[in-house]
Each structure stands twice: as C-alpha cells, then as structure tokens.
Amino acid sequence: MDVADASGGPTAAGPDPRRVRDLPSLARELALLAARAARGSGRRQISQAELTRRLGLPSTMKSTINSYFSGKSLAPPDTLDAIVIALGATPEDQRLWSEAWERVNMQRLDARRGNRPAVAATGPDQVVAELRARLDRTRHRLGDVLAVSAHNMDTLIRVPKIVADDEIEIARPTPAPGGSGANTMVGLSRLGIRVSVAGAVADDENGMRLRSALAADGVNTEHLLTISEPGLGSGSAYVLTEHAGARSIYPYAGVNNRLAAVVADRGLVPALRSAVAGHRILHLSSFVGSDERRLQESLVASVDDDTIVSFTPGSLYAKLGGDRLASILRRANLLFMYEQQLDQLLRRTNLGAGSPGHRMEDQIRTLFSWRAAGAQAQPLILVVKRPAELVAGSRRDYVAVAFGRTSMEGFAQPDGELSHHDILDATGAGDALAAGILFALLRGAPPGEAANFAYVMALSASSGVGARTGLPDTSTLAEHWRRHLPASPLPRWLGLA
C-alpha cells in the first residue's frame, strides 16, 4: 500500500495543515502532501518504502510510518517535521504543520482529561485569564507564595572589570543577605504579598543574619530549618559585579546541601507538602545539590491542578539541560531565565531534529515546542532577561515576556528605555523581575503592564548595592514607577494614586 491511500487519494484543494483539527484530518492532509510529492514521478503517490528511505529509517519502520498516515497514532513533533520536510514542505509550510501538530496534541490531551473542550490559542490574555482563574479558586489559602530556595549570605565585590591574570584594587566588600528565591519573596513581601520560605541555614552568625533579615521584611520563616553540622556553615556566595552590570558568582553551598537529607531524617516531608498546599504559588530556584533538586521535583509532583508553579532555574540548573529538568519545566506556569541560560538549557536538551537557533524569539518558540512534546498543556509565562551590559539602551531586548501553552501565543515588552537609567549593581535584578511578574499576576495586571512592572522592579533592584537594597515598598512604589517609566501612567491595579 502507498502512504497516500489512507485518505482515499488527493483532492483538488491540495494539502493544507490549517484544516487539521484531529488525528483523522492530520492523516488526510499528510496523504495529500505525499500525493503532491509524487507529482512528475510517474506515480500517483509516494510509497512507504520511498518515504522511509528519504527519512533515513530502516525498512522495518514502514508500519510505524503507515500508522501516522492512517490516523492510528500521532507522530512525535520532530518526526512529523522530518516527514513534511522529506515530502517537500516549505519553511512556511513547516510552521503550519507544527501548529497543526499542537492542535491535535491539545485535542488528544483534553480527551484524556474527560472530553473537556480544547483551550483556544487566543494569546497572552487567555493565558493570564486561566492563571487568574486558578488564583481566584485558591483565595482561601493561608499564603500567596512559598519559595523553596537556597539561602546565601552574599559578599559583593564591585570591580571595574572582571578579568583574569591581573590585579585591580577594589573597594571594601559588602555583605548582604541573598538567595534567589529569598530575594524574590522579600520583593513581594514589601508590596504586601503573603510569602514564606523553605530552606536551610546553619546555627552561625550568617544563619542568624539571614533569618532575621527575612523576618524584618515580613517573610514567614516557619519552614526555614536551622541545621547544625560540624564543618558546615550557612550558604554564601562571592559576587563580582561590574558597574555596567556584568556579574560572576561563586557559591558555597554549606547546609543548603543538607536540606533534603534533614527534611527526610526529621520526617518533615508531609509538613513541607502541606505548606505547599497552603499557598497559591510554589516558587522554586536552584540548589547546588542534586538531592535538593529531587526534593523540589517531588514537591512539584504533589501539587494540585490549581497551584501555580513558578521556576527560576538559574545557571546551576540550566546547564543540566531541559530533559533533566523536564518534570519541573513541563509543569511550570512561570519561568524566569536570562538569555544565556535559555540558550544553555536548550543546547543541552534533546530537541530531536530541531535546532534552538540563535535569536531569542526562536529559542523561546523552541522551548514551547519542546514542552508540548511532553504531553503537557500547562499555560506558561516565560520571562527572558538579557544582561544589562549587552543591551546598550534597547528596551526591546532587556525583558521579553512570552505567553502560551503548546506554542508561543503572545509577546510583551516594557515601554521604558534602559539607557535612561544607571545600573549600580545588577545583583538580584532577575529575582526582582520575578517578583514583579508574580505581583502583577496576583493583582490581575494585563500582559503589557506586567512587563512594565517587571522592568521597574529589575531596575529598582539594580539601583542599590545588593539584591534587596533598591527594592521598593508600597510607600515608594509610585516614585520608582515614575522614575523608570516617566511616560507611562500608573496602572490602577497597583492601587496607587
């Protein structure tokens, strides 16, 4: 049998992936494409053997290929890409076929969940509306956001230039409390959001400073453990930062690397899961140790459908690649990354026949496509930030916010011009940006205004030395907004005059 026979032969309309809505319609359009590819060959359609040869597959794969053309099974996305390319699809056709695959996969997933109607790809407003609906259903929970994060005392060293094999005089190092997730929680707490942290500090001076700093900012530290082990102190990080914004971070894990073991030894896993269930959003950031990452994965696996998962993988996790982080990435509803981290993650991910490309937008689309291949349809807000020193004043490249489910459905960027603002210290800018997006989501902000607020928060954090010094509170928020976005009116959802 030839591959085009499954649909009963070609029609005058020709192949059109825009007509695809389910497996049978996908099979029909594939058969038409195979028939078109045979034109001029003297044959009516491409045979299974010929297509298998074009794909570079063994002849034993003919039955598998036939199952795709007969509508018995859905080809993996990279396989479908290879098939349509082998059948002569143009680059524009390839994009349409990719969208067709996403529609079919969505329809199948919805059928598995009880024949609920498929969610239409209507852009960023639809994604935000779905997440807002979850937040509305979880208003009764005791907390808004819980961060499971490493906790570090930062030592900030400002240098004219980060260089090798040289000696440069520096100013006195500045100690400051840090830890990515903890920084984000401080940013939210200063704006009136109910936040908690989980993690570990040692029974030492730095541990006491880290705990007291969080408490002073109104962060609930009930699940911040104190661990006393000989030879291990609280986590710390040496941060070299240039005036232009470039940074180099050298972490010492300390008792952060004992969190998972101590939680298990003390029988605290049920209590930690209960804490997650008592918050509307679970926010995760990276640890050095793999046991802590597995603890985070188990927490993600335990969340209910209404809990929103937020994730800042950082460089430590990005270098592992997407496949190692799949259980978190595919459940995540908010994902915060620097551009170089996104590139690093994708290049260490099995993308099949795909390529992440070099442009930020291409990489964002690649990440959405990869997530879709994992049979997930979670709404996602992906926030990508470029280092300030690479942007040279372009608002278009500093922050990009993408929205979608199985593909990128919308894009938002801030209104401000980075060139108007001095970057004193970029430490914690990404954490503040995450706080901005989370706050905007909790307040029901539209996508464009959420991007604006994230921009304000990131630049505010960069206006002081240390991750938290420059963060605004409710009394200074209007001032920060007007400083960084003078041409944009204060949005009503901020609740400011």
Q: For residue 128, which of 451, 368, 492 has the smallest C-alpha distance?
A: 451
pLDDT of residue 376: 63
The rounded distance, in Å, linking the Cα atoms of 431 and 149 is 12
Cα 3 off chain centre by: 39
Q: For residue 470, which of 484, 459, 485 has the smallest C-alpha distance?
A: 459
**Residue 274 confidence class, pLDDT cut points 50, 70, 90:** very high
The rounded distance, in Å, linking the Cα atoms of 372 and 378 is 9
pLDDT of residue 16: 85
Q: Where are the domains of the chain?
A: 3-118, 129-494
pLDDT of residue 321: 94
pLDDT of residue 59: 64
CATH topology of domain 129-494: UDP-N-acetylmuramoyl-L-alanine:D-glutamate ligase (3.40.1190)
The yes-or-no verdict on residue 421 having pLDDT over 70 is: no
In the chain, the amino acid numbered 473 is D
Q: For residue 299, which of 254, 260, 349 has the smallest C-alpha distance?
A: 260
Residue with tokens 């969505």: 106
pLDDT of residue 70: 84
The yes-or-no verdict on residue 234 having pLDDT over 60 is: yes
Q: Are 360 and 384 in contact (CB under 8 A)?
A: yes
Q: For residue 473, which of 459, 460, 492, 486 has the smallest C-alpha distance?
A: 460
**Residue 95 confidence class, pLDDT cut points 50, 70, 90:** confident
Q: For residue 465, which of 492, 497, 429 has the smallest C-alpha distance?
A: 429
Q: How many other C-beta atoms are found inside a 10 Å radius of the C-beta of residue 182?
A: 30
Cβ-proximal residues to 451 (8 Å cutoff; 6+ apart), any chain: 399, 401, 412, 413, 414
Residue with tokens 């010929």: 50
What's the mean per-residue pLDDT of the chain? 84
The yes-or-no verdict on residue 146 having pLDDT over 60 is: yes
The 8-class DSSP code of residue 487 comes to: T
The yes-or-no verdict on residue 352 having pLDDT over 90 is: no
| Phi, psi for 232 (deg, rounded to 5) | -120, 125
48's tokens: 């299974």
Q: Are 300 and 198 in contact (CB under 8 A)?
A: no
Furthest C-alpha separation in the chain? 83
CATH number of 3-118: 1.10.260
Element (H, E) at 155: strand 152-159
The residue-averaged pLDDT of 81-87 equals 85
The rounded distance, in Å, linking the Cα atoms of 137 and 340 is 36
Q: Which residues pair with 201 in a beta bridge?
A: 226
What are 26-48's pLDDT values in tens digits?
A: 888 888 888 888 887 777 778 87
**Residue 118 confidence class, pLDDT cut points 50, 70, 90:** very low
* Burial class for 33, CB neighbours closer than 10 Å (0-12, 13-18, 19+): buried
The rounded distance, in Å, linking the Cα atoms of 88 and 290 is 45
The yes-or-no verdict on residue 131 having pLDDT over 60 is: yes
The rounded distance, in Å, linking the Cα atoms of 254 and 234 is 5
Q: For residue 354, which of 376, 325, 322, 383 has the smallest C-alpha distance?
A: 322
488's tokens: 């944009």
Question: pLDDT over 70 for what percent of the chain?
Answer: 84
Helix 91-112, helix 360-372: angle, nearest 10: 40
In the chain, the amino acid numbered 314 is G
The residue-averaged pLDDT of 470-476 equals 92
